[in-house]
Structure 1
């Protein structure tokens, strides 16, 4: 193989290697971008989960409070009805 041919083959192999490296870098950047997007989505989901958990806690508190108030109203109604019956029975 002549010296010129050897240089041409070496340059072609170098070109192929550089193309392969460029493709590998592109794939790596794509994976990094995808990974970053996934991390951002996970952060958003965790933020939403925290907010929803807090809203659920508040709703449960309100529901428990309404249940307590409902029991108290029922107790007072029963007392009022008994008082009215007692007055009517006299």
Structure 2
């Protein structure tokens, strides 16, 4: 083997090693890009879920307010009915 041939072989080995390193770097970058895209997709889904849950919470709060109002109304009517019954019983010696 001549010196030029040895130099060429060494250069080819360095080139092969550099290409291998580049391929590894490209694969790592592609994986990172896929991961970033996956995270962005997850973030978008979380945002949509948050919006849907906020909407559901608003509906539940509105229903809870209606139920609280109805509960107060029923309570007021029960107190009124009990007072009426008590007055009737008192009036009839009960």
TM-score range, shorter chain: 0.7 to 0.9
- Partner Cα distance (1:29, 1:57) in 2: 42
Task: Give, in angstroms, the shift of residue 83 of structure 1.
Answer: 2.8
Residue equivalent to 1:26: 27
More divergent stretch after superposition (5-14 vs 23-32): 5-14
Deviations 1:35-68 (A, max 9, x none): 1111111211221122112111211111111001
Structure 2, gaps ≥5 residues long: none
Q: Distance in 2 between matches of 1:10 and 1:85?
A: 108
Higher relative contact order (CA 8 A, sep 6+): 2
Unaligned 5+ residue runs, structure 1?
A: none
Aligned to 2:7: 6
**Number of equivalenced pairs:** 90
User: Match of 2:58?
Assistant: 57
Give RMSD over aligned pairs: 1.7
CA distance in 1, matches of 2:51, 2:79: 42
Give the TM-score normalised by the residue count of structure 1. 0.86
List per-residue Cα deviations over 1:57-87 (Å, max 9, x = no partner): 2111111110011111111222223333334
Give 4+ residue runs of structure 1 displaced > 4 Å after superposition: none
